[in-house]
């Protein structure tokens, strides 16, 4: 059994065990990958203020998201084709999240269907929605999510068009994936992955195939998918979804303060500051750079979360200190899934919680509620993000 001490160890294992086409899908950005890399790099440049001689004996990283108690302020982000990282991947991730005590978000573009996950998961999960041109199909998806007891709907807004993803293009990654001779040779070097995939019946896009007229198998899925993402998406469409979903509505893909205000006006219960993991607009700010302006614009009117670049519990604490109520993690748990299946997802969450707890302790805090910007060296934030200096002996914001 390989020794795993951090998320990077899981990433290396996943790279060795998952076919290149699907590993690259999870671990790549668009264009030159500048924004993809900045998501991680900008977080790491934020420095903590270490405090000593503070009572930190009894600590807790528990919190709430959308009024739901969580073991730590983390939700598993929606990731398309998770079931290609590991057979039945969405089911395994949902089980691991439920056992740990954090929400799991199922993607519209999942391999396992809403019904598959609902049957297998011991707890309600969240469902991520893309607003397709086929509004009747979207309405049916919302109804299926409601029937599956999904406890929140996460509407992703930043995929009206698809970013230029060079690695996916080179690998022939499409919906459905195009199996070239090169891809098949690579799959042959991953026998454990291949055997698991052969044993499961879940190899289609379970939320789509059989649920759209004319889309009965992977062969005719591609043409339907290519013309379904809707460039005409507007705030009126967001309100249309809000009218059809009575539960908590989360709007993901917010990178601008004006858009954040529009999201609140459209009925968002939470907004996620996210650049789609650097897979859409390359050259956009990192998520942590965009976070403060969104918090300033709407933080007292709705929950603000952040997604992008989270690879450790320290990154979670940085995002919380910069004003996020919680974070969504995608690649960190996908690496665990690709490396070790359900056990790998559990291990990724355990690693994140341990790192979050220890770093919070070094900063002299005992609970998530006590975390604010005063645990950071403000100079590291000002230098990277151009934040206003606000005085104090350590550059800490003053009341």
- Judged on CB neighbours under 10 Å (0-12, 13-18, 19+), 142 is middle
User: Would you call 394 a catalytic residue per the annotation?
Assistant: no
Nearest in space to 361 (alpha carbons), one of 373, 370, 352: 370
CA dist., res. 289 & res. 302, Å (int): 19
Candidate list 86, 166, 276, 383, residue with the active-site label? 276
Structure tokens at 188: 């042959």
DSSP 8-class letter at 327? E
Structure tokens at 100: 């740990």
Is the CA virtual torsion 390, 391, 397, 399 positive or negative?
A: negative
CA angle 381, 383, 295 (to 5 degrees): 35
Q: How far apart are the first and last CA of the chain?
A: 51
Helix (H) or strand (E) holding 329: strand 326-329
Could you count the other beta carbons within 10 Å of the beta carbon of residue 249? 21
Local structure of 44: helix, strand or coil: helix
CA dist., res. 385 & res. 111, Å (int): 38
CA dist., res. 254 & res. 276, Å (int): 10
Could you count the other beta carbons within 10 Å of the beta carbon of residue 372? 14
CA dist., res. 121 & res. 147, Å (int): 14
Structure tokens at 196: 């698991």
Is the CA virtual torsion 29, 353, 93, 213 positive or negative?
A: negative
List active site positions: 276
């Amino acid at each position: 059994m390989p020794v795993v001490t951090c998320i990077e160890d899981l990433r290396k294992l996943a790279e060795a065990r998952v076919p290149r086409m699907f590993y690259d899908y999870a671990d790549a950005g668009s264009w030159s990958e500048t924004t993809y890399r900045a998501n991680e790099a900008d977080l790491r440049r934020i420095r903590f203020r270490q405090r000593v001689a503070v009572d930190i004996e009894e600590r807790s990283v528990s919190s709430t998201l959308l009024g739901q108690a969580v073991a730590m302020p983390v939700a598993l982000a929606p990731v398309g084709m998770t079931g290609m990282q590991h057979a039945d991947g969405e089911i395994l991730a949902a089980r691991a999240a439920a056992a740990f005590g954090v929400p799991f978000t199922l993607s519209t573009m999942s391999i396992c269907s809403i019904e598959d996950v609902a049957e297998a998961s011991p707890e309600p999960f969240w469902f991520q929605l893309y607003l397709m041109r086929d509004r009747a199909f979207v309405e049916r998806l919302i109804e299926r999510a409601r029937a599956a007891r999904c406890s929140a709907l996460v509407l992703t807004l930043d995929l009206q068009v698809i970013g230029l993803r060079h690695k996916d293009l080179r690998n022939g990654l499409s919906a459905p994936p195009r199996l070239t001779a090169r891809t098949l040779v690579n799959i042959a070097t991953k026998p454990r992955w291949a055997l698991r995939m052969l044993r499961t019946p879940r190899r289609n896009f379970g939320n789509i195939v059989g649920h759209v007229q004319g889309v009965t198998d992977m062969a005719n899925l591609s043409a339907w998918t290519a013309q379904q993402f809707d460039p005409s998406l507007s705030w009126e469409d967001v309100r249309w979804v809000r009218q059809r979903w009575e539960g908590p509505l989360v709007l993901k893909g917010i990178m601008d303060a004006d858009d954040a205000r529009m999201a609140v006006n459209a009925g968002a219960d939470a907004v996620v500051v996210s650049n789609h993991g650097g897979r859409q607009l390359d050259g956009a700010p990192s998520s942590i750079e965009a976070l403060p302006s969104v918090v300033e614009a709407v933080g007292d009117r709705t929950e603000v979360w952040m997604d992008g670049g989270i690879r450790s519990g320290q990154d979670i604490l940085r995002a919380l200190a910069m004003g996020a109520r919680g974070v969504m993690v995608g690649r960190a748990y996908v690496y665990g899934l690709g490396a070790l299946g359900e056990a790998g997802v559990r291990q990724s969450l355990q690693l994140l919680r341990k790192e979050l707890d220890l770093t919070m302790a070094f900063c002299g805090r005992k609970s998530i509620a006590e975390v604010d910007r005063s645990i950071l060296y403000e100079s590291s934030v000002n230098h990277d993000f151009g934040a206003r200096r606000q005085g104090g002996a350590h550059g800490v914001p003053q009341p």
